[in-house]
Amino acid sequence: MNWTAIRAIFTFEMFRFFRTIAQSFLAPVISTSLYFVVFGAAIGSRIQEVEGVSYGAFIVPGLVMLTVITQSISNASFGIYFPKFIGTFSELLAAPISFLEIVLGYVGAAATKALIIGIIILLTAFFFVDFTIQHPLAMLAFLLLTTISFALFGFIIGIWAGNFEQLQIVPLLIVTPLVFLGGSFYSISMLPPVWQTISMFNPVVYLISGFRWAFFGTADVPIITSLLAIGVFTALALGVIWWIFRTGWRIRE
């Protein structure tokens, strides 16, 4: 394993992150703060409690997940698409490194960035609402698993995308709706029965439910189901990446 190369990719990507610090940190912090103001304060004043938790606190795990998922995808997809776009990708192909090392470098950096942002959002949340985290370790583990699996997914999008529009289209048309409809701002149990059933097909429901359990000890679905769901998603993403690198799809002619 060429750890020096992995570290080189990782550091290079993190440099980009810190160079665009305003865009990287401020944007998610500001948008999350807006969610707290609009959903927590304005709407939350009408909804007293959800499953024994104040509405303001209830939406915290969902908001963190929302940001972490979108950030993992956009960081990883952009991270690998950008070298393709400007042509520096050929340097990766000509380097004495394996595809596994390329994935570790890019996905590792994208997941780390998303993790940092997730923690910042969490810290921001403490300024708006009072809440305690019942299972902090489980919370961190969930966060980590989510960043890794969605960064893998983002990596696939970045490899697949042939232009900037394609790079945006999957997050915009599929991921964002799934996350919004995945119970970020409500409990699935608040929905009519039909929609509850439909929601069960949304993988994000399991993530947010599990993550919320780590915070408040209550969940829409059993925690083991949540873990299973994220495990399956990660395995799928890994499988696709393994196939991409085996065949050189969209990478090597």
Give the footprint of another protein on this chain (CB under 8 A).
2, 4-5, 7-9, 11-12, 15, 19, 82, 86-88, 90-97, 248, 252-253
Strand, coil or helix: 176: helix
Q: How far is CA 66 from the centre of its chain?
A: 7
Which of residues 8 and 119 has its CB atom nearest to another protein in the complex?
A: 8
Q: Which amino acid is at 219?
A: A
Contact 199, 188 (CB under 8 A): yes
CA-CA distance, 73 to 51, in Å (whole number)? 30
Query: Whole-number minimum distance, CB 95 to another protein, in Å?
Result: 4
CA-CA distance, 225 to 216, in Å (whole number)? 17
Which of residues 65 and 97 has its CB atom nearest to another protein in the complex?
A: 97
Query: Whole-number minimum distance, CB 104 to another protein, in Å?
Result: 13
CA-CA distance, 36 to 117, in Å (whole number)? 16
Query: Whole-number minimum distance, CB 243 to another protein, in Å?
Result: 16
Which of residues 52 and 87 has its CB atom nearest to another protein in the complex?
A: 87
Per-residue 3-state assignment (H helix, E strand, C coil) for 15-62: HHHHHCHHHHHHHHHHHHHHHHHHHHHHHCCCCCEECCEEHHHHHHHH
Query: Whole-number minimum distance, CB 5 to another protein, in Å?
Result: 5
Which of residues 15 and 242 has its CB atom nearest to another protein in the complex?
A: 15
Closest to 77 in 3D by CA, of 69, 65, 66, 67: 69
What is the length of the chain? 253
Query: Whole-number minimum distance, CB 1 to another protein, in Å?
Result: 10
Which of residues 101 and 220 has its CB atom nearest to another protein in the complex?
A: 101
Which of residues 4 and 48 has its CB atom nearest to another protein in the complex?
A: 4
CA-CA distance, 182 to 175, in Å (whole number)? 10
Q: Which amino acid is at 1?
A: M
Query: Whole-number minimum distance, CB 55 to another protein, in Å?
Result: 42
Which of residues 19 and 169 has its CB atom nearest to another protein in the complex?
A: 19
Query: Whole-number minimum distance, CB 153 to another protein, in Å?
Result: 24
The single residue listed with the structure tokens 């925690």 is 223
